[in-house]
């Protein structure tokens, strides 16, 4: 289930906008985690009983096949954008309208997913870089 919520609020000369997006019931195979595990590291006590049948590896510790052990719940709530601005409606004898604003893209993600980014389009998380947080400041002048 995909949910989106966007809202903008104006108070006097101030404006505030926010865009939130959620994906509930999202499942991702964490390939990055799976490629960094070997059976030999879990074969000693006390994990030998719990982990012996979880992975499919050959004798050299090389991953032989994907295991559903690494399929993770990747439901999330992501804030796509937050914008705050202030507008001066009439400057220089009503000849200029000026707006200053600040915006943040991708400021936060709320999730229980242990990987870097729960939003993986292929369903297999093998990226090692998270999405960047972008901050921008701007001026809009109308004559």
**Rounded CA separation 17/81 (Å):** 8
**Rounded CA separation 48/61 (Å):** 15
Residue 12 region, left (φ>0) first, then alpha (ψ -120 to 50), else beta?
A: left
How high does pLDDT run on average in the chain? 82
The pLDDT > 70 percentage for the chain reads 78
Residues of the chain by 3-state class (helix, strand, coil), percent to 5: 10, 50, 40
What is the predicted pLDDT for the residue at 117? 86
Confidence of residue 109 (pLDDT cuts 50, 70, 90): very high
Residue 46 reports pLDDT greater than 80:
no
Global pTM?
A: 0.72
Q: Which residue has the tokens 């991702």?
A: 28
What is the predicted pLDDT for the residue at 68? 80
pLDDT in tens, 64-90: 566 788 889 999 999 999 999 999 988
Calculate ∠ Cα 67-70-76, nearest 5°. Answer: 145
Contact 31, 124 (CB under 8 A): yes
Report, as an integer, the average pLDDT of 92-116: 92
What is the predicted pLDDT for the residue at 70? 84
């Amino acid at each position: 289930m995909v949910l989106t919520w966007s809202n903008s609020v104006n108070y006097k000369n101030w404006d505030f906008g926010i865009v939130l997006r959620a994906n509930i019931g999202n499942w991702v195979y964490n390939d990055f985690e799976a490629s960094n595990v070997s059976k030999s590291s879990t074969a000693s006590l006390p994990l030998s009983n719990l982990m012996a049948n979880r992975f499919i590896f050959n004798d050299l510790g090389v991953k032989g096949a994907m295991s559903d052990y690494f399929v993770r719940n990747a439901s999330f709530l992501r804030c796509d954008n937050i914008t705050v601005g202030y507008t001066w409606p009439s400057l220089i004898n009503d000849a200029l309208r000026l707006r200053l604003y600040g915006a943040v893209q991708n400021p936060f993600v709320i999730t229980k997913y242990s990987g870097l980014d729960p939003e993986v389009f292929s369903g297999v998380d093998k990226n090692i870089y998270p999405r960047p947080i972008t901050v921008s400041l701007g001026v809009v002048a109308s004559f």
